[in-house]
Amino acid sequence: MAEPFRFRVNQHGPAGSPVREPFAPADPKPGWVKLELKAMALNRLDLWTTEGIPGYPLPLPLTPGCDGAGTLEAVGEGTILPPGVALGGSVMIAPGLSCGVCPACSRGDDMLCPTYGVLGQVCDGTAATHVLVPAANLLPIPGNWTFEQAAAFPLVFLTAWEMLVHKCALRPGETVLVWGGGSGVGSAAIQLVKALGGTALAVVGSEAKAMQCWDLGAEHVIVRGEMKALVGKVRELTGKRGVDVVFEHTGAATWTTSLSVCARGGRIVTCGATTGRETTFDLRALFAKQIQIRGSYMGRREHLWTLLSLIQRNPTNPPFHPVIDRVFDLAEYPEAQRHLEAGNGFGKVVCRI
Residues found near Zn ion in the complex (CB under 5 A): 98-99, 102, 105, 113
User: Between residues 98 and 126, which has the closer beta carbon with respect to Zn ion?
Assistant: 98
Q: How far is the CB of 98 from Zn ion (least distance, A)?
A: 4
Phi, psi (deg, nearest 5) at residue 9: -95, 105
The residues near 90 (Cβ < 8 Å, ≥ 6 apart) are: 38, 69, 70, 71, 72, 140, 141, 147, 150
Nearer to Zn ion, 105 or 340 (CB): 105
CB of 112 to Zn ion, least distance (A): 8
**Closer residue to Zn ion in complex, CB, 105/128:** 105
Helix (H) or strand (E) holding 335: helix 333-342
Q: In the complex, which residue's CB is closest to Zn ion?
A: 113
Query: Rounded to the nearest whole angstrom, what is the least distance from the CB of residue 255 to Zn ion in the complex?
Result: 31
CB of 99 to Zn ion, least distance (A): 3
Nearer to Zn ion, 4 or 117 (CB): 117
Residue number, 115 or 344, with CB nearest to Zn ion: 115
What is the rounded distance in angstroms from the CA atom of residue 330 to the CA atom of residue 186? Answer: 24
Shortest reach from residue 96's CB to Zn ion, in Å: 11
Q: Which distant-in-sequence residues (6+ apart) come within 8 Å of 45 by Cβ?
A: 64, 66, 118, 120, 121, 155
Minimum CB separation of residue 97 from Zn ion in Å reads 10
| Closer residue to Zn ion, CB minimum distance, 101 or 169 | 101
* Cα first-last separation, the chain: 10
Shortest CA distance to 261 belongs to which of 308, 342, 188, 202?
Answer: 202
**CA-CA distance, 153 to 156, in Å (whole number)?**
6
Output the CA torsion sign for 333, 335, 338, 340.
negative
